[in-house]
Amino acid sequence: MVLYKKKLEKIQKFTIYFFIYSFLGWLLEVIFALFVLGTFVKRGFLYGPLCPIYGFGAVLLIFVLGKTNGKKALEFFVSMIVFSIFEYFVSYILEMAFGLRWWDYTNDFLNLNGRISIAYSIAWGFIGVIFYEKIHPRIEKWLKKLNNKINYNIESIITAILVILTIVDFVFSTIKYLHI
């Protein structure tokens, strides 16, 4: 008798990608701060170990770069443009909502309102290609293996718990920054 293993719905898969890349982004930020400042600094908006800008950015990139047909130069420019627009938009929203800037490129060459700069835009282009060509395929493969080992219902419950915890974290983090 062959048992049927239900696959994750697309929304569940992208939700899991969001959490994986949010955590990896948080880790990247913490390690970067550790090297630059020489000490541990909790990075990001949330209390927990997630930087949602990386999760949303990664999911956005997966959608957008899926249409580039493996053309690396196109992946580079699309990543550069999409990430820069996204970074500008998030910076603007965070500043309007909380009156704070989580990053400021004012002193960088060719910056736009201190929200984005040419150096970081170029870096996002390279990071986007590396992400889409090297990192995401490995994460996707790992997730497929994990999906075959874990019961669908357990995966769904874990995903739901992560979503609920993140919403609660977002609410408390918002309260903290709004000083309510």
Condensed to tens digits (0 to 9), the pLDDT of residues 42-94 reads 888 899 999 999 999 999 999 999 888 889 999 999 999 999 999 999 999 99
2, part of any domain: no
* Separation CA 16–CA 171 (nearest Å): 20
Q: Please write the tens of the pLDDT for every residue from 133-152.
A: 999 999 999 998 988 888 88
Contact 40, 11 (CB under 8 A): no
Domain that holds residue 162: 10-178
Domains identified in the chain, total number: 1
Total-model pTM = 0.86
1, part of any domain: no
Q: Please write the tens of the pLDDT for every residue from 126-137.
A: 999 999 999 999
Tokens of 165: 């915890």
67, part of any domain: yes
149, part of any domain: yes
